[in-house]
Amino acid sequence: MALSYEVKLDTFEGPLDLLLHLVSKNEMDIYDISMSCITAQYLRYLEQVQEQNLDVASEFLVMAATLMHIKSRMLLPKAEPEEFENEEIDPRAELVQRLLEYRRYKEGAQQLEEYPQLNREVFVRPETVNTVDDGASSAVSEVGVYELVKALRELLKEPPEPIIHAVVKTPLSVADGIQHVLQCLRQQQYLPFRECFCAMPQRDEIIITFIAVLELVKLQLCKIVQLNQHGMIYLYPSDAVRSGRVTSVDGIKSEYH
C-alpha cells in the first residue's frame, strides 16, 4: 500500500509577502530581481497550495499574471539606442517599488509589535470615566487603537456565510454605517461594541461599521472604553446622541457645521 505524506506550506499574508520571502531566500538584490527564477518559484508555491486542496486567494493569482507579464517583457529584444532618446524603463521598476514599500511597512509593524512587551508586567490604575446602569461605580479606561483593532480581528475571525467567488459592490456606505450606529446608541447609557454588528455580518459590513465607529469617535459623538484590561469594549454615546439631538448624518452636519 502506498504511503501518504503531508507537506506543510509556509503561510504568507499576501503575494508581496511571498515575493519578499523568495527574494530574501535566494539572496537577490531587490533592485535586480531574476524574474525567471522568482516567477518559477512563485508558481511552484501556488501549485503546492492547490495540491493541498487549498483555495488560492485571487490576489495571488493576479500577482502570478503580473510576474509572467514582466517576465515576457524582459524576454523581448531591446530597442536600438538611436531609436529612443530616453532610456527604456525597466519592466520590474513598479514591482520593486511595491516590494520596497511593503518591506518598510512590514518592518515598521514588527517594531510596533515589540513595544507593548516593554511594559507587559506593569499595571496601572485605570481612569474612572463613567458608571454603569445599576448605579455602582465602576473603573473603566479609554480604549486605544490596538484594543479596537484586536476587537475587529475577532469579528473577522467569525465564520462567514458560504464563500461565492463573485465580486459585487456592497450597497452599504459609511453614511449608512454611521446612521446604524447612531440608532444603536440612541437612549443608551452604554453599548457593547459587538452589538454594533448584526448576528452574522459580512466582511464588508464589518469594515464599514468599524469605519463609522471611528468617525463618530473623531467627531466626539461617542467614547470607547473597557471596564478592565482585556475586558469587553463598550461605546458611550455623547449627550447629543443620547438625548436625540443627533440622530442622523444630516444631524451631525447641522450640529457641528
Return per-residue pLDDT of the chain as tens, 257 residues.
343 434 445 678 888 888 999 998 998 998 888 999 999 999 998 888 887 766 777 888 888 899 999 888 888 776 665 555 556 678 888 999 999 998 888 888 887 776 655 555 555 554 544 444 444 445 556 776 667 777 777 777 765 555 555 555 567 788 888 888 888 888 788 888 888 887 777 888 888 888 888 888 888 888 888 877 777 888 888 888 888 888 777 766 555 44
pTM (2 d.p.):
0.40
Question: Phi, psi (5° rounding) for residue 131?
Answer: -125, 160
Q: Which residues of 170-199 are buried (b: 16+ CB within 10 A; e: fewer)?
A: eebeeebbbbbbbebbeebebbebeebbee
Q: Is 42 helix (H, G, I), strand (E, B) or coil?
A: helix
Residue with cell 440608532: 183
- The domains of the chain are located at 15-77+86-114, 126-159+166-256
Residue 219 DSSP one-character state? T
The per-residue pLDDT for 257 is 47
d(CA 206, CA 203): 5
CA 153 to mean position of chain CA atoms: 9
SS (H, E, C) 67-114: HHHHHHHHHCCCCCHHHCCCCCCCCCHHHHHHHHHHHHHHHHHHHHHH
The per-residue pLDDT for 39 is 92
